[in-house]
Structure 1
Amino acid sequence: MATLRHEFYETDERLTLSIFDKGADPAQVSVKFDSRRFTYQNGEKELVLEPLKGQIDPEKSEYTVGKVKVEVRLHKMVLGRWGVLVGDSPDVLSNAPASFTPTPTASTAEARKRKNWDGITKAILESDKPVTSDDDPNAGGDATVNEFFQKLYGDADEDTRRAMMKSYVESGGTTLSTNWDEVRKAPVEVKPPEGSEWKKWAA
């Protein structure tokens, strides 16, 4: 059988395959969708793609027979780009737990990477208990460290608040900056006091 010329383009959700079979009769065309296999047949002409690079949903996949080509729309089970049509890659769904959710798109992943500094600040301030001398030898007097931090933060503008929280969180509590223009450019380095060594506490 003759193998048909074909090409494809894709999005995170779907792969569109164009099979160049000019003048194909829809009544003679046979298409079969399986989770990792696609089969197209029209008389002596055939195209078999196996194993597909990723798993598809046969129920949602479809095709249209046109005058010049047959357009096939393969609906991906997991969001993301394949790069190629076929490939002997592991099936990401075969060992997935029942609560498995599709991989987020690049834009969604990027959005999740951006930290909500206002939300982090609120959570810290709400969860922090007053610092006692047992917790911090430097604490004491009429105002605790936490109260001082709350007052400083409460009197600051929005950019200063962002700078304070970003520098404090990223430096592991070793730096507190109020300069948002400087802090937002890159992660804030950990700077322990001279003569001491910073270590990350195990959870």
Structure 2
Amino acid sequence: MSVRYDWYQSDTKVVITVLLKNATEKNYAVNIEAEKIHMTADGYELVLQLLHPIVVDRSSHKAFPSKVEITLGKETGVRWETLEQKKEVAPPSTRPVKNWDRLVSEEEKNDEKEAKGEAALNQLFKKIYNSSTPEVQKAMNKSFSESGGTVLSTNWNEVGKEKVDVKPPEGTEFREWDK
């Protein structure tokens, strides 16, 4: 079972309070070393790798009805940021990390090389649309849909005022589908 504990410090000592009811009845034992504390009781174990070394001769422990108090004499008056050394966590596996931004830009470059003619133009419009502000996107949507695909504007100030007229390419005539 895990053991709950807390700690505090002064200039000369560190005090660890281990919450354990009836510790003497549970055959508790504390082993204090210069850089490690090991406490056991029936079904309980606590191992702490201390951040800084301590003086074992100035250290002690005492059992109370609801806790065990471990007092450690500091070797130096240094303020401890934490009680324990940071545990080194090995990565689960050493696989290379993918740079997704580079992968996406390489993919876009490949797409641009492969696209020709109308596909290249559509790809360009897609790229402009995706990298635009919401206002520019709104202008592009409105101008394209109202003009039947003959106008594509990025200027919302112009497009937002009124309906966008159909402007067919030179030499062609626009006709309504149902007429």
Q: TM-score range by the shorter chain?
A: 0.3 to 0.5
TM-score normalised by the chain length of structure 1: 0.41
* Larger radius of gyration between Structure 1 and Structure 2: 2
Return the TM-score normalized by structure 2: 0.46
